[in-house]
Amino acid sequence: EAQVTQNPRYLITVTGKKLTVTCSQNMNHEYMSWYRQDPGLGLRQIYYSMNVEVTDKGDVPEGYKVSRKEKRNFPLILESPSPNQTSLYFCASSLRPGVPGELFFGEGSRLTVL
């Protein structure tokens, strides 16, 4: 089954404790991206990757890091989480933007930073 898998789905952590949210897709998609969803703000793009070893900032990259060492994986790293990073995070992939372009989303990871 074609899917985007995120882990963990739920996480409560404390300020400053490094964490990684994993994302894996099995569709051989070139494009992968991370979003955060906050009430009243919709989804905002954090980082995206056009292919292996190619990453770029989205609209809200501060406090986050990513890496793309393999085509299928795109982990999101919070080196020193802060309470304002409490949010619902979605990973998404696409064959490539524009052709056909639509995003396939993971189930989401709800992160709480105390």
Q: Which residues lie near another protein (CB under 8 A)?
A: 31, 33, 35, 40-45, 48, 50, 56, 58-59, 90, 92, 97-98, 100-108
Residue closer to another protein by CB (options 24, 33) is 33
Q: Compute the Cα dihedral for 4, 45, 51, 11 and give only its sign.
A: negative
DSSP annotation of 73 = B
At closest approach, how far in Å is the CB of 76 from another protein?
16
Q: Of 66, 68, 32, which is closest to residue 52 (Cα–Cα)?
A: 68
Residue closer to another protein by CB (options 70, 107) is 107
Torsion of CA 41, 38, 34, 97, to 10 degrees: -30
DSSP annotation of 83 = G
At closest approach, how far in Å is the CB of 14 from another protein?
26
Q: In angstroms, rounded to a whole number, what is the distance separating the alpha carbons of residues 94 and 50?
A: 9
Residue closer to another protein by CB (options 69, 99) is 99
At closest approach, how far in Å is the CB of 41 from another protein?
6
At closest approach, how far in Å is the CB of 77 from another protein?
20
